Structure 1
């Protein structure tokens, strides 16, 4: 799992940087400040949880707990739901996509709780 989550986290960090640059340069004059702020929130949480995936990779190498693996997958799902919905919402303006974002936020919270439990149990 070390290799898997480290690669997955690094790929997502790359993607977060690329999407952040695209937002700063490609969307700056195309979106309102409101939607640009939403987009940037997606980038911020994307990067934080990409680093979280790398951390999960290192923890998976140190602790042999299925909880760490679950934490990584749920964190990855959180990136897709939370940041992905914010990217699409900001570009498309489809407000109903905002209903998906909290599911991603809950996934983030659950993943971090699983990390806490895995470390506490070790």
Structure 2
């Protein structure tokens, strides 16, 4: 297990819960429903990839450390770009952040591809079934 990745996942989970609570309660009075929906989408994707990082942490003992590391880097970069741009858009209405969101989504996709490569490259003799 990679305790550093698990720590990062735990911190990201904490932040996602805090932002989710803020979105559910704090934004209600200050933002229109469409911006709250965008904010909630950012929270959802942060949660999905928080869980992915935790999976990487536990997978690190069986899979390629290099691919796991790069997958985590792309997941983190993707969360910052994708969720971060949506958070900022919902909070301050900065439409110029729009092009950043798909770049974040692309980073998330790369993270999943790298995770899949790590899983497929492992010799079958080392796989526990």
**TM-score (normalised: structure 2):** 0.91
Indicate yes or no: 2:74 matched with 1:74.
yes
Shift in Å, 1:109: 0.4
Equivalence for 2:38 = 38
1:82-121 matched pairs, under 5 angstroms: 82-121=82-121
Determine the C-alpha separation between the residues in 2 that align with 1:78 and 1:60.
20
Contact 1:10 1:51 in 2 (8 A): no
Runs of 4+ displaced beyond 6 Å: none
SS at match of 2:8: helix
Determine the C-alpha separation between the residues in 2 that align with 1:64 and 1:81.
26
Equivalence for 1:15 = 15
Shift in Å, 1:63: 1.8
Determine the C-alpha separation between the residues in 1 that align with 2:34 and 2:64.
44
Shift in Å, 1:86: 0.4
Unaligned runs of 5+ in 1: none
**TM-score (normalised: structure 1):** 0.96
Determine the C-alpha separation between the residues in 1 that align with 2:34 and 2:7.
33
Determine the C-alpha separation between the residues in 2 that align with 1:69 and 1:94.
32
Unaligned runs of 5+ in 2: 123-129
